[in-house]
Amino acid sequence: MCTRAGAGQSGLPALWDSGDEDLWEDEEEETAQEPRSRCLFCERLFNSAEDTFSHCKSEHQFSIDNMIQKHGLEFYGYVKLINFVRIKKPTAEYLNSLSSPLPWEEEEYLKPVLEDDLLLQFDIEDISDPTNVSYSSELSDTKSLLERLRHAEQRAKLAEIGLATAQEDLQKMKQFAQDFVMNADVRSSSSSNAIADLQEDEDGVYFSSYGHYGIHEEMLKDKVRTESYRDFIYQNLHIFKDKVVLDVGCGTGILSMFAAKAGAKKVIGVDQSEIVYQAMDIIRLNKLEDTVTLIKGRIEEVDLPIEKVDIIISEWMGYFLLFESMLDSVIYAKDKYLAEGGSVYPDICTISLVAVSDMKKHADKLTFWDNVYGFNMSCMKKAVLPEAVVELLDPDTLISEANVVKHIDCHTASIKDLEFSSDFTLIITKDTLCTDMNWGTSGHVTRPLYSLRLGFSKEPKWEAVAGYFDIFFEKNCHNRVLFSTGPRSTKTHWKQTVFLLENPISVKIGEALEGKITVQKNRKDPRSLIITLSVNNIKQTYSLQ
């Protein structure tokens, strides 16, 4: 790393006077001919880490010395910083503005990005101003040798870290596979504890899934979703003018940019997924960096650069509204950061249920198992039935009025309100035989012939309950905006959530079907839901995950 000038003053004549001296010099000449140190911010290559850091400071206004001192980085923290910059390619301005928590604290950043990266082999105790004697060509041979030994030791430490991380990941994968295949009824308490220990990793998987552009593309292309937010913001400019806005789970930053264009004084977007780095580029491309600041991290863990905000916006809704539990984070942000008199948008949400008659779907999902190529596989129903199905329903399969089973006011809701039980009544409004006509035969087949061909009774059947949600932007709005994810509305990426009944129930037009729904978080995976329906003295529990 250091040059050999002044070697004659070394205190080790026996070592340097041997033929080994030529080997050292040859090695250094090779290094000089093959630059291996790449700039952190551009594609330029350098012969040494010292030259790289000097370039970063003069050309990119980034001082590694200041960064280490500011955050009190030790060797491992320094390594994570270098690898983080190699992977994420943030700007120097972004790095200089960081405060705790640091985005490179994850263990994944200990793994080298570039092979034989000279910056990872550098002793951070020697990092200082380029004019410092440690950067000069007059270092003693003794220090040069010690540096080589330290670099070798550091490479060994990195290898040990990589091995330990790989072994830990392998053990977790083994434990997860074991718990997955074991019957839930006979799991030991130790297995349950193992799954609980994995919840943090599962949370990481959740945020990781939002790091890929595909899911954001799907959401942005959902016109009902995106245009509803846009219309609410642009048609109610008075709400956002000169206000401070917090965007929880900002994703690509679309809501943050809407708010900035609507006249917000300051917008802060927070997101834990990797997409936030692309969002930073998007903000810069649209020249909104003076108004919009994006922060990577969980809203529960980051430190915002402001104590209170006037408005919280978020697109937090999941399947059946509450799947993914992101409303928990919005409620946390509301309780901690929302100023008195401030607003949360959307502000009103409802969950509704409706009865469905779709005997073909019921047959495809459940009756199918009664005879599979001549074999009885009906035991499979016990595995199929408890899984809620997310799909688009044909509105012609609806046979009842809808019933709202949950009303949420985001200004007053608490996290405990998101688990609930509610009685419901569904009034049958439609003879299901006209629905049956849509399932597979031509529209010219008469009702009696159709019923005879498929073996269906003329009596209406109730085969499923479907759930969906409606969203309202109302508080202080001159122009209120709402949208629905119901089967009679324009389709959205949320679709509907369907709960199949094991045995169809005969119903009559005008009949009132009474039941009870209970919604709880899955204790082993709090982002998923456990939903229990009680109908006609029959109780069935479903999972949505």
Catalytic residues: 315, 324
Q: How many CA atoms within 13 Å lie on the side-chain side of 535? A: 25
Pairing mode, if any, of strands 481-484 and 512-522? unpaired
- Cβ neighbours of 220 (radius 10 Å): 14
- Cβ neighbours of 98 (radius 10 Å): 17
- Cβ neighbours of 19 (radius 10 Å): 6
The candidate with the shortest Cα–Cα distance to 50, out of 108, 137, 111, is 137
Element (H, E) at 282: helix 275-285
CB 238 within 8 A of CB 304: no
Which residues are registered as beta bridge partners of 279? none
Which residues are registered as beta bridge partners of 356? 398, 464
CB 464 within 8 A of CB 361: yes
| b (16+ CB within 10 A) / e for 235-269 | ebeebbeebbbbbbbbbbbbbbbbbbbbebebbbb
| Residue entry with tokens 């994944």 | 108
Alpha-carbon distance of 526 to 475, in angstroms, equals 30
Three-state DSSP state, 108: helix
CB 393 within 8 A of CB 356: yes
| b (16+ CB within 10 A) / e for 284-307 | eeeebbebbbbbbbebeebebeee
